[in-house]
């Protein structure tokens, strides 16, 4: 992750040269970037690599066994909760594909600007014999269009960029060469809003959902499962 402070905006650019998998390193770097943003910025912009935001959780970690998978999923959910609860505006520039945990990054952000094109944005869990962890159902219900909730979260429908706007994964589209400029302009604009009231209104609006996410996560940490 490359961290850059541009005016009042903390820019977190993720490019691991591969799939930008949500690994322990990815989560550590996200938290490090958010810590810096809280200390010196007024808004956050998250960017992926050209053609890809994230391909999802690190499956190599899953292959190490149930305990390793659980540890990574718990940390991932905690990261999504932090993003959804983050006191500053959070903008994501979706540079391309966003699959599984990559799509949940979009759902956890305040504003999502995507790249026009035939990119895959989806929650494939049903199709790959997995169950969406219960805390993340909140993000699905809160952020996806009610008309697409069944299609996206239950039926694992794959959306291109335009379809992802209609479904609620994205808010707007731009051409690839305009993404950073547009996303940075939006983050800069949002950074001008009164920070305390932005934080309070965000947390008041999302209070019930955040409480549910944390409550659903606790028994899993204690040894249960997320189904």
**DSSP class per residue in 17-56:** SS---B-HHHHHHHHHHHHHHHHH-SEEEEE-BTEEEE--
Instruction: Please write the tens of the pLDDT for every residue from 7-44.
Output: 999 999 999 999 999 999 999 999 999 999 999 999 99
- First-to-last C-alpha distance (Å) of the chain: 32
3-class state of residue 10 by DSSP:
strand
* Six token digits for residue 8: 């009042």
pLDDT grade, residue 65 (50/70/90)? Answer: confident
| Residue 178 main-chain phi, psi, to 5 deg | -105, 0
Least Cα distance to 187 among 80, 41, 20 occurs for 41
Whether the pTM exceeds 0.75: the reply is yes
* Six token digits for residue 178: 């305009």
């Amino acid at each position: 992750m490359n961290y850059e402070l541009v005016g009042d905006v903390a820019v977190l650019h993720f490019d691991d040269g591969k799939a930008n998998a949500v690994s322990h390193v990815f989560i550590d770097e996200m938290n490090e970037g958010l810590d810096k943003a809280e200390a010196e910025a007024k808004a956050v912009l998250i960017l992926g690599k050209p053609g890809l935001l994230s391909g999802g959780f690190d499956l190599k970690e899953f292959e190490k066994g149930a305990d390793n998978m659980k540890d990574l999923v718990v940390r991932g959910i905690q990261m999504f909760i932090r993003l959804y609860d983050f006191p500053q505006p959070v903008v994501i520039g979706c540079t391309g594909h966003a699959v599984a945990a990559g799509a949940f990054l979009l759902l956890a952000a305040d504003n999502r600007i995507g790249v026009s094109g035939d990119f895959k944005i989806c929650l494939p869990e049903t199709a790959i014999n997995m169950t969406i962890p219960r805390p993340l159902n909140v993000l699905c219900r809160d952020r996806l269009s009610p008309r697409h909730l069944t299609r996206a979260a239950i039926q694992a429908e794959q959306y291109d960029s335009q379809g992802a706007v209609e479904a609620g994964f994205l808010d707007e589209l731009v051409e690839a060469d305009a993404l950073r400029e547009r996303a940075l302009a939006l983050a800069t604009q949002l950074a001008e809003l009164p920070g305390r009231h932005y934080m309070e209104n965000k947390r008041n609006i999302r209070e019930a959902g955040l409480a549910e996410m944390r409550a659903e996560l606790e028994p899993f940490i204690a040894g249960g499962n997320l189904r």
